[in-house]
Amino acid sequence: MSDQKYNSPEDPYFEDAQADEFEEEEFVSKTELKRQAKELHKLGETLVNLTDANIATIPMDEELADAVAIARKVNKKKDGYRRQLQFIGKALRNRDTTDIEEALAKLTHQHQAANAAFHALEKAREAVIEQGDPAIQKLIEQYPELDRQKLRQFHRQIKKEREKNAPPKAFRELFQYLKDVIHEEWLSVWAQIQKRLVQLPNLFIFEYRSRI
């Protein structure tokens, strides 16, 4: 008897193999759909939790924007909030979310840049306080707009405040001074970062998705 019939569509072994393959594809498809639904649910929740200023930067059509606005007004502990999030997730399934994800990625990097700038200012302030002239010299080399005598004065005042356990007035004023002078240069740097964000949207979409 030839083995050829075992490879024909009439062969029960062939039919079983086809059925198994179909079930496997169906399982993978359902798993992928669940994963996508979960991601879109999280995307919707991210939109709802944005600040008023940030939500204004997200490109949304009127229907989606209204759905998000309603969720932002609902008590998060109520069932209505959960149902509204589900509605937003379903709405996102019927939309191309590329522009939304790009906008969120930019916000993420804005936040990171702002945090980095804040921590850099804190470190600069501590360096001026703890190291004095050596740190002041390095700062002025990097930011010539800074006033050497003013930084020295802050250094002395903060030392006195700490010795007397006085309110940290000069401590706060030094941070504000550094922020005022350095901030303009930081804005210039951020403008360059923004240009790169526009040029590399797909990269930042990937990074945003990796966080959710």
The pLDDT, as a whole number, for residue 27 is 52
pLDDT value of residue 131: 92
Q: What is the pLDDT of residue 10?
A: 53
What is the band of 210 on the pLDDT scale with cuts at 50, 70, 90? Answer: very low
Q: 19 pLDDT exceeds 90?
A: no
pLDDT at 171: 94
158 φ/ψ angles, rounded to the nearest 5 degrees = -70, -40
Lowest mean pLDDT among 1-5, 76-80, 106-110, 164-168: 1-5
What average pLDDT does this structure show over 1-5? 45
Residue 40: its pLDDT value, please? 87
Residue 193 has pLDDT above 50, yes or no: no
Q: What is the pTM of this model?
A: 0.50
Which of 22-36, 61-75, 105-119 bottoms out in mean pLDDT, i.e. has the lowest? Answer: 22-36
> Which of the four pLDDT bands, split at 50, 70 and 90, describes residue 1?
very low
pLDDT in tens, 126-171: 999 999 999 999 999 988 989 999 999 999 999 999 999 999 999 9
> According to the model, what pLDDT value does residue 168 have?
92
More confident residue, 184 or 124: 124
**Is 30's pLDDT higher than 90?**
no
CB 158 within 8 A of CB 174: yes
**pLDDT for 29:** 74
The count of residues in the chain is 212
pLDDT tens for residues 46-95? Answer: 899 888 888 899 999 999 999 999 999 988 888 888 899 999 999 998 88
The whole-number pLDDT of residue 68 equals 92
The pLDDT value recorded for residue 187 is 54
